[in-house]
Amino acid sequence: MTNDPIKNLIHLYEDGAFNRRELITRLTKYTGSMAAATALVESTGLAQSPPAAGCLTEVRVSETDPAVLSQMITIHGEGGPLFVYQSLPRDYASAPRPAILVIHENRGLNDHILDVNRRVAKAGYVAVAVDLLSRQGGSSQFTDPVQATAAYNRTQPEERRQDMLSALWTIRDQKYVRGDRLGTVGFCAGGGNVFDLAVNTDQLAAAVVFYGPPPPVEQLANLNAPLLGLFAEQDRGITGRIPAVLTALNEAQKPYELHIYQNARHAFHNDTGAAYEPTAACDAWQKTLAFFARHLNR
């Protein structure tokens, strides 16, 4: 996120933090009039209603889905209590299975990420979504997405990395988990955290990044897991850095797959936001599950 409040509000709208009416109400504070705020929204190309639901009726998993058992748990973290949302396939005790760490965007552990966590569990994995606002009191303490983003911005990369590792190590040691088959997937800032985790630990067997900012290219030589990157053509600030990422990965001979979706915007996978693009989202999720199947189900 930038220090520009207008850009930050539009980014949050893309991510589904609030609807168009709420966006215009908040933008009016900065533009001086509702008409100016409306014109600003229209200039972004986000004025249209989100597209049809696409494959979402197949992938969304409700809290009451009988195939999945979910609950919030608290584990020990280096900075204090660490809040984690765990989702398990109902037959999780039948045999140890791979586990996947789900990493949220920069506004905390919200309903969309909880749903994604359940999707991972319904696909047959142990799924854990770590709350990276735990050191700030937890995502539940911030009902306004602007406040949640500000709380996230108060966290430090080293703190987030340690909290992700704490979640990984805790789930790795459970008897219903294959400790040598751990994966991770993250979205937006969470995708950046996936990059950070994958170059700083050898605990991962697969890493998936949805439109997350890459680290400095020299760090990619330390990548310790096969990488799947899913990016959007119109997300220029991030996707424009991908050629350098490709060069670095090729020079270091790291295993990777990268896909750039034509006409898609940042946050195209988030079905609660204005940038949701169903064709890209459905294809990216199918690629994600196929990638995990190849690298985790060995």
- Which tokens is 296 given? 């985790």
Rg over alpha carbons for the chain, rounded to the nearest Å, is 19
3.30.750.24, 3.40.50.1820, 3.10.20.30, 3.40.50.150: CATH of 51-296? 3.40.50.1820
227 forms beta bridges with 207, 256
In terms of Cα–Cα distance, which of 101, 74, 51, 66 is closest to 269?
Answer: 51
- Using DSSP, state whether 103 is helix, strand or coil: strand
Q: SS3 for 239?
A: helix
pLDDT by position in tens, the chain (length 298): 567 888 777 777 777 776 677 777 887 878 777 667 677 777 776 655 444 455 655 688 999 999 999 999 999 999 999 999 999 999 999 999 999 999 999 999 999 999 999 999 999 999 999 999 999 999 999 999 999 999 999 999 999 999 999 999 999 999 999 999 999 999 999 999 999 999 999 999 999 999 999 999 999 999 999 999 999 999 999 999 999 999 999 999 999 999 999 999 999 999 999 899 999 999 999 999 999 999 999 8
For residue 16, give the nearest of 84, 96, 118, 115 by alpha carbon.
115
Q: How many CB atoms lie within 10 A of CB 202?
A: 9
Contact 217, 242 (CB under 8 A): no
Alpha helix (H) residue ranges in the chain: 5-14, 20-31, 34-43, 56-59, 111-122, 145-153, 157-172, 189-198, 236-239, 242-251, 278-296
Q: For residue 236, what are the contacts with CB-CB under 8 A and spacing of at least 6?
A: none
- Dist CA 26 CA 137 (whole Å): 26
User: Are the C-beta atoms of residues 258 and 33 closer than 8 Å to each other?
Assistant: no
Tell me the domain boundaries of the chain.
Answer: 1-49, 51-296
Beta-strand relationship, 68-77 and 206-210: unpaired
* Contact between 166 and 78 (Cβ < 8 Å): yes
Q: Which helix (H) or strand (E) holds 126?
A: strand 126-130
Confidence (pTM)? 0.87
- Alpha-carbon separation of residue 19 from 3, 16, 22, 227 (angstroms): 22, 7, 5, 33
